[in-house]
Amino acid sequence: MSGGWLAVAGLGPGDAALVTPEVSEALDQATDVIGYIPYVARVAPQPGLRLHASDNRVEIDRAGHALRLAAEGARVVVVSSGDPGVFAMAAAVFEALEAGPPAWRDLDIRVLPGITAMLAASARAGAPLGHDFCAINLSDNLKPWPLIARRLALAAEADFAIAFYNPRSRARPDTLDAAFAILRAACGDDRPVLFARAVTTAEESLRIVSLSEAQGAMADMRTMVIVGSSRTRLIARDGAPILYTPRSA
Amino acid sequence: MSGGWLAVAGLGPGDAALVTPEVSEALDQATDVIGYIPYVARVAPQPGLRLHASDNRVEIDRAGHALRLAAEGARVVVVSSGDPGVFAMAAAVFEALEAGPPAWRDLDIRVLPGITAMLAASARAGAPLGHDFCAINLSDNLKPWPLIARRLALAAEADFAIAFYNPRSRARPDTLDAAFAILRAACGDDRPVLFARAVTTAEESLRIVSLSEAQGAMADMRTMVIVGSSRTRLIARDGAPILYTPRSA
C-alpha cells in the first residue's frame, strides 16, 4: 500500500473561512485531488499536486478513480461542496467500494465533515432549523417522483422544517413547483420559505416569501430552499428580517 | 452602540481541527464569551477576554445576558457545541431578542455555523445520512412526548434515516427506549443503529447494532444516535464496518 489513503472532504459552502483546519491539512498532504470542476477549482494549485476535475453526473466513475489511486499508494482527497456525507461524494465512494475489489476494503478511508449548505443558509437567515427538521434531495435522477411526493407529504404532516437540496435544475424545471404545491395542500399558505443562493460567496442573495408566493423560478442549482415548520417565526427589523424556529414546538 | 456585536458560534463536536477559521477569528476579536460550562472551557483564556460560563437549562438567561452586553458595546461570542442553529443557542438568542427591548433588533448579530454532531458522527461511521434524513431532539423538556412519538412514526413511514439529538439524560432515562419501541413497530428489527459517543474527542466510541438489539442504556448525554433508513447498508471489513446510505432510494 505504501501509505496511500483516501479522504472524502467537505469544502463548506464557499467562503474559505468555513473550511475546517482538518480539511486544509488533508489538502496540504495530498498528492491527488478529485472532484466536480467548480469544487476542484477551489483548491489552490501546488507543485506536485495533481488536480483531477470532472463533470457532474459521473460520481461513481470519479469514486472508482479515487479508490484506484489510493490503492496504488496515492494520498487522495475527493472534494465535495458542503459536507461530503449529505447528498455528496461520500455515499458514492462507499457504493464504489462495496462493488469494487475486496482489497479496497483495507484502504485507509476517512470522511472529513464540512459545513453543509443548509447549515450555512440557516445561519445567514437566523435559525430556521432550530427545532426538528428534515433534509430532502429534490432531484429525481436517483429516486422516483412518487416517493419524493409521499415523503414531502409525511414531512409536512410531521411538522418538520424542510431543507431542500438540489431544488431545481435545467433538466428539472418543475420539481420545486410540484413540491410547493404538495406543501401548500398540506400546510396552508403561511409558512415562510427561504431561498438562499450562493451563500457565503460574493453572489450571495437571500429572499424570504410566504409559501403562497413561493415559485420554483426563485431557485436555481446554487440555491438552498428551507420551508419553515408551523412554529417558524420572522422577526421584523430595519435590516433583513430574522427567520427562526423556537426550541419549543 | 460603540461597535458592539454578538456572534453565536459553533465550536464543532470537540476536536479543535473542526473549528472553522471564521469562529476562531470571532473568538480572537471578542471581549466576552458566554456559554454552557464545558463549551466555554474549550475557549483559550486570553488577557482582557471575559469568560462567562453558566449551567445547562438557563439558555434564555444566557441569551439575554449576551444581548445586554452587546447592546452596551461588548464584542460577544455565545458558544455552542456543534452548530449553533441545530438544537442549540441560536434559537434561544432569537427568542430572547424577540421578547426583549426593540433596540436589540438593531444589534449586529451573526450566526457562525459549525460541524453539528450528526455530521461528525456520520463521517466517523461512513455516510449514514447520505440520503434523505431528519433530525429530532428527543428531549421532552420543551415539547410533549405525544408530539415526539407522532413525529417518530411519521419519520419512519417516510423512510428517513433519523438522527437523535439529546437521546437520553439522567432526568429522562426512558425516552430513547420508547423511541426504539416506536421504530421497531414501524420498521421491523433490522435497521442498523449507530451510537456515536464523544465523537472526535479522546473518549470517542462507536457502536453499531440492529434495531432489535438497540437499548437506551447504550447512549448517554454525549451520544448521537443515528437510525438507518430501509436502504442503509453495512460494508464488512477487517476494521470497523462502514455504515452508509446509497444515493438512490
Q: What is the CATH number of the domain that holds A33?
A: 3.40.1010.10
My answer on whether B16 and B44 are in the same domain is yes
A87 plus A101 within the same structural domain: yes
d(CA B79, CA B34): 6
A89 with A9, same domain: the answer is yes
The pLDDT of residue A1 is above 50: no
Give pTM, 2 decimals: 0.97
Name chain A contacts of B131, Cβ cutoff 8 Å. Answer: 87, 91, 137
Domain CATH code at residue A147: 3.30.950.10
Judgement on whether residues B122 and B221 belong to the same structural domain of the protein: yes
Nearest alpha-carbon partner for A149 in A172, A177, A178, A170: A178
* C-alpha to C-alpha distance for A83 and A9, rounded to whole angstroms: 7
pLDDT given for residue B193 in this prediction: 98
Q: What is the DSSP letter of B16?
A: G
Q: What is the pLDDT of residue B2?
A: 63
Overall residue count recorded for chain A in this entry: 249
Q: Please name the residue of chain B whose CA is at the shortest distance from the CA of residue A104.
A: B237
> Percentage of chain A surpassing pLDDT 70?
99
* Residue B177 falls inside a structural domain: yes
The 3-state DSSP class for residue B12 equals strand
Q: What is the pLDDT of residue B69?
A: 98
Q: What is the maximum span of chain A, computed from C-alpha positions, in angstroms? A: 60
Domain span including residue B225: 118-244
In this structure, are A128 and A212 located in the same domain? yes
Does residue A131 lie within any of the structural domains? yes
Q: According to the model, what pLDDT value does residue B139 have?
A: 87
- Determine, for residues B94 and A244 on separate chains, whether the beta-carbon distance falls below 8 Å: yes
- Give the count of Cβ contacts less than 8 A between chain A and B: 225
Q: Which of B95, B98, B237 sits opposite A105 (nearest CB)?
A: B237
Strands of B55-191 (E only): list them. 75-80, 108-112, 126-127, 133-137, 161-165
Give the CA count within 13 Å in the CB-facing half-sphere of B10.
Answer: 30
Most B CBs within 10 Å, among A94, A145, A248, to test the B interface? A94
Rounded Cα–Cα distance for residues A219 and A88 (Å): 20
Q: 3-class DSSP state for residue B228?
A: coil
Cβ contact, residue pair A83, B17, below 8 Å:
no
Q: Work out the minimum CA distance from B226 to partner chain A, whole angstroms.
A: 13
Among candidates A66, A236, A143, A113, which has minimal Cα distance to B114?
A113
The span from the CA of A96 to the CA of A90, in Å, is 10
Position A167 pLDDT exceeds 60: yes
Answer yes or no: do A123 and A240 share one domain: yes
Q: What is the mean pLDDT of each run of 10 residues along chain B (249 residues)?
A: 88 98 98 97 95 89 97 98 97 97 96 98 98 94 90 97 93 92 93 98 97 97 97 94 91
Distance CA A111, CA B115 (A): 13
Q: Is-contact B121 B82, C-beta < 8 A?
A: no
Same-domain check for residues B168 and B231: yes
Residues of A with Cβ-Cβ distance to B133 under 8 angstroms: 134-135
Are A18 and A104 in the same domain?
yes
Which chain A residues are within 8 Å of B85, Cβ to Cβ?
119, 122-123, 127-130
Do the chains contact at A86 and B119, CB–CB below 8 Å? yes
Digit-coded pLDDT (tens) for A7-63: 999 999 999 999 999 999 999 999 999 999 999 999 999 999 999 999 877 899 999
Set of chain B residues whose Cβ sits within 8 Å of the Cβ of A151: 132, 158-160
- ∠ Cα B239 B240 B246 (to 5°): 120
For residue A49, tell me if it sits in a domain.
Answer: yes
Nearest Cβ partner for A115 among B115, B147, B247: B115
The predicted structure's pLDDT at residue B108: 97
Q: What is the mean pLDDT of residues A190-219?
A: 97
Could you say which of A68, A87, A115 is where a domain stops?
A115
Can you give the three-state secondary structure of A195-210, one letter per residue? EEECCCCCCCEEEEEE
Pairing mode, strands B32-36 and B75-80: parallel
Of B96, B115, B134, the last residue of a domain is B115
d(CA B72, CA B103): 11
Contact residues on chain B for A130, CB-CB shorter than 8 A = 85-88, 90-91, 94
pLDDT at A248: 83
Cell of B210: 440492529
Residues B107 and B141 in one domain: no
Q: B94: how many CB neighbours lie within 10 A of its CB?
A: 26
Same domain, A153 and A237: yes
Average predicted confidence (pLDDT) for chain A:
95
Q: What is the pLDDT of residues A88-136, one digit of tens each?
A: 999 999 999 999 999 999 999 999 999 999 999 999 999 999 999 999 9
Q: How far apart are CA B49 and CA A198, in angstroms?
A: 34
Mean pLDDT of A224-236: 97
Asked if B86 lies within 8 A of A59 by C-beta distance, the reply is no
**pLDDT digit string, tens, across residues A61-87:** 999 999 999 999 999 999 999 999 999
What span, in angstroms and rounded, lies between the C-alpha atoms of B10 and B26?
11
Cβ pair B199, B13 in contact under 8 A: yes
Q: Indicate if B131 and B60 belong to the same structural domain.
A: no
Q: How do strand A161-165 and strand B233-235 relate by DSSP bridges? A: unpaired
What local confidence, expressed as pLDDT, does residue B78 receive? 98
Q: B108 with B164, same domain? A: no
pLDDT at A140: 75
Where among B67, B84, B115 does a domain terminate? Answer: B115
> Does residue B249 belong to any structural domain of this protein?
no
Question: A249 lies in a domain?
Answer: no
d(CA B193, CA A3): 32
Residue A100 lies in a domain: yes
Q: How many domains does chain A have?
A: 2
Which chain A residues are closer than 8 Å to B78 by Cβ? none
Each residue's pLDDT tens digit, A131-153: 999 999 998 777 899 999 999 99
Q: Which of B11, B19, B20 to mutate to test the interface with A (most CBs of A within 10 A)?
A: B20
